[in-house]
Amino acid sequence: MIVENYDPKMIMEKYQNRGFRNISVLTEDKYFQGSNHDLQLIKQNFDVATLQKDFIIDEWQIYQAKAYGADCILLISEILSDREIKQFIGIAASLDMDVLLEFHQVTELSKILNSNLNIIGINNRNLSTLETNPFHALEIRDMFINEFRDHDIVAESGISSTLIIDKYLSNGITKFLIGESLLRESF
């Protein structure tokens, strides 16, 4: 539990006052106590682009995300096959939704590069061990600089200070997915 008295509308008001134009909404309920209703509440009350964060493993979840107001979905390469990634990207495109495809492990690189997406997320948190290295995304991008020359990288997770952001910015990565630090108001 990150926030005990979770009020998505109040949190979104704070974010909007800070100038945030895009918001991710965790909708996974079993492990993270997220809700599609939170996504719907944000979309109905704020003029903001929304990313639905969930473990999408079935196409019906994409239609559901659209119905609740998501503008973009998160796909996690480690839990999907090449075929599923391509299929889900196609469904999202048919619904006029964007896709953020993320990965952590280098072994996923071929799936990422075969996706034909130009914005790719690199998760600093290993979803198997939950260990976080705040510069993992930068290290992976640098190891595969030629492969990622036509991609915008989104550094995800473990971003907890302006020092970390400054290091990314000075190395050409300008997009971030920050959740826990903002919710804890420690950033």
Structure tokens at 61: 């979840």
Give the domains, in start order, of the chain with CATH numbers: 8-183 (3.20.20.70)
In total, the chain counts a number of residues equal to 187
Find all residues with CB under 8 Å of 102, minimum gap 6, and list them: 74, 75, 76, 77, 120, 121, 122, 123, 154, 156
Residue 187 has pLDDT above 50, yes or no: no
What pLDDT is stored for residue 179 in this prediction?
65
Per-position b or e across 145-178, b if 16+ CB within 10 A of its CB: eeebeebebbbbbbbbeeebbeebeeeebeebbb
Paired with 25 in beta bridges are 52
Contact status, residue 150 vs residue 131, Cβ threshold 8 Å: no
53: number of Cβ within 10 Å:
25
- For 92-132, how does the pLDDT look when each residue is reduced to its tens digit (9 = 90+)? 999 999 999 999 999 999 999 999 999 999 999 998 898 99
Rounded to two decimals, what is the model's pTM? 0.90
- For 53-78, how does the pLDDT look when each residue is reduced to its tens digit (9 = 90+)? 999 999 999 999 999 999 999 999 99
What pLDDT is stored for residue 94 in this prediction?
98
Residue 168 has pLDDT above 80, yes or no: yes
Residue whose C-alpha is closest to residue 104's, from 78, 142, 134: 78
Residue 3 has pLDDT above 60, yes or no: no
Instruction: Give the SS3 label for residue 81.
Output: coil
| Pairwise CA distance, residues 122 & 140, whole Å | 8
What pLDDT is stored for residue 128 in this prediction?
87
Q: How buried is 125 (Cβ within 10 angstroms: 0-12 exposed, 13-18 middle, 19+ buried)?
A: middle
